[in-house]
Structure 1
């Protein structure tokens, strides 16, 4: 198995659970609401499922090409395999921590911590960019959901 297959399967498992939970959200209390609370999380979950399936398929295609190359070269070893498994495991732990901390810390804090931890793990040299991304992304998404879409995200201790 290559990194795309492993990553795709891990993300697919998360996406299925996430999507099921998204569609179990209770309907809005008001009957006049056109878009219910499960629409956006459900759409994100479905898109996540589709992209993870595409990732798995591309992994299988890449694996087939690698086997053809190995047959031509006869016996070359794939480099970086232990590091890729370690990355997938650690990124999965970051994602689990994000899910666990989402409600107690709220959207803004938990998302900023998640993005900062993942970007710092993947590229420590660009720490200024990582801090900017980890602050700009959740704030922008929060204001779009809060002000434009009227979908209220949990604020945790900031509320």
Structure 2
């Protein structure tokens, strides 16, 4: 198994739990609501599950191809290194999972916009320190656009946190 298959399996388990919880969201009290409050979380959970399964199977196929290549001695005689050092990749995965857990814990206290800005910026800064200005711009622009889209276009109100 490689990092992709491990990450795909962990994210798939998270997506399944997330989707099950999304199905338990109570229906809207507004009778005129065209879209219920559970529609978007369910769609996100299903998409996350599908994408994580693709990552899982891709990792398994890569591991199988790498294993077969090593057994048959195919190649130029040069040992192929994995895409990154396995321990470093595992460390990155664990750090991102901790950041995601922190995001979940701070989501309602800080609200969608602020918690998402902090999550995206800290994750991208950890993974790519060289482009911190670009990361900061993305981490501010994306949550603001999503917040405005959900609150003003879709009438799905995201938590505002201390900014009521």
What TM-score do the two structures reach when normalised by structure 1?
0.94
| Aligned-partner Cα distance in 1 for 2:153–2:56 | 35
| Aligned-partner Cα distance in 2 for 1:78–1:5 | 17
| Aligned-partner Cα distance in 2 for 1:86–1:64 | 23
Match of 1:141 among 122, 140, 146: 146
| Aligned-partner Cα distance in 2 for 1:16–1:132 | 32
- 2:109 — aligned with what? 104
- 2:87 — aligned with what? 82
1:26 aligns with 2:31: no
- 1:158 — aligned with what? 163
Q: Report the secondary structure of 1:121's partner residue.
A: helix
- 1:39 — aligned with what? 39
| Aligned-partner Cα distance in 2 for 1:153–1:103 | 9
Consecutive unaligned residues of structure 2, counting only runs of 5 or more, are: none
1:54 aligns with 2:64: no
- 2:129 — aligned with what? 124
- 1:10 — aligned with what? 10
Instruction: Report how far residue 77 of structure 1 moved.
Output: 7.6
More helix by share: 1
| Aligned-partner Cα distance in 1 for 2:115–2:14 | 18
Structure 1 consecutive aligned stretches of length 4 or more whose deviation exceeds 2 Å:
72-79
Consecutive unaligned residues of structure 1, counting only runs of 5 or more, are: none
